[in-house]
A = this chain, B = another copy of it.
Amino acid sequence: MKFQLYFIASILFAFAPQKKTRIIFFGDSITQQGTEPGGYIIRIDSMCRSENKSGQYEFFGTGISGNKVYDLYLRLEDDVLSKDPNVVVIYIGVNDVWHKSLLQTGTDKDKFEKFYQAIIDKLKARNIKVIVCTPAVIGEKTDFTNPQDGDIDEYSNIIRRLAGKNSLQLVDLRKSFLEYNLKHNPENKDRGILTTDRVHLNPAGNQLVAEEIWNMVKANQ
């Protein structure tokens, strides 16, 4: 009897479509561009396929240009929770710093942390795994003379602390981008190594982000 039961279960398992891990990338224009050809999400999907893992994962991006942490909070229900993801990769923070000088509409440090934690809380309440990324760069110079370097370091520290406090996986893009530039940007240029315009990713930047996140996603399982 026991054998028979096992046999049936086996068959069911074999034919039932395996439930894929649904991963949503949640962010700003960098993530919006991530779903375009050559974008980091497309690259993750390609790496997944080439490793014959496309049966295990499915990827969705929801990035909106100009978004800051509180914009993610506002659209969390509609754009993320309603789609029932297993994993959410949060990649936010550039505009929270950059828009201070660009439009005078950046995000205060304490509120950045408060909204970020509120998003984490809502995701964890649904048992959704959360991966957080530090904002990579606003300017690629390696001698700490990009105007927002101090501020983006501070906001990256907030995300690192949130990752520790909430036991989340951290993709430290800020750190990876600096290390990459220290190797590949001997002329101390402010763009053109991993970004097109100091902020948005060029092909090398999309590839670096894709690799960093994809490795973390696989480590997640």
Our pick among B74, B100, B145 for the contact of A105 (Cβ within 8 Å) is B100
Binding site for B on A (CB under 8 A): 66, 70-71, 73-74, 99-101, 103-108, 111, 114-115, 118, 139, 143-151, 153-154, 157
Please name the residue on chain B nearest to A101 by beta carbon. B104
Please name the residue on chain B nearest to A103 by beta carbon. B108
> Looking at chain A's contact residues, is the secondary structure mostly helix, strand, loop, or mixed?
helix
Our pick among B70, B107, B157 for the contact of A74 (Cβ within 8 Å) is B70
Q: CB distance B105 to A107 under 8 Å?
A: yes
B residues in contact with A139, CB < 8 Å: 150
A99 to B110, CA, bound (A): 14
A74 to B71, CA, bound (A): 11
Our pick among B66, B108, B145 for the contact of A154 (Cβ within 8 Å) is B145
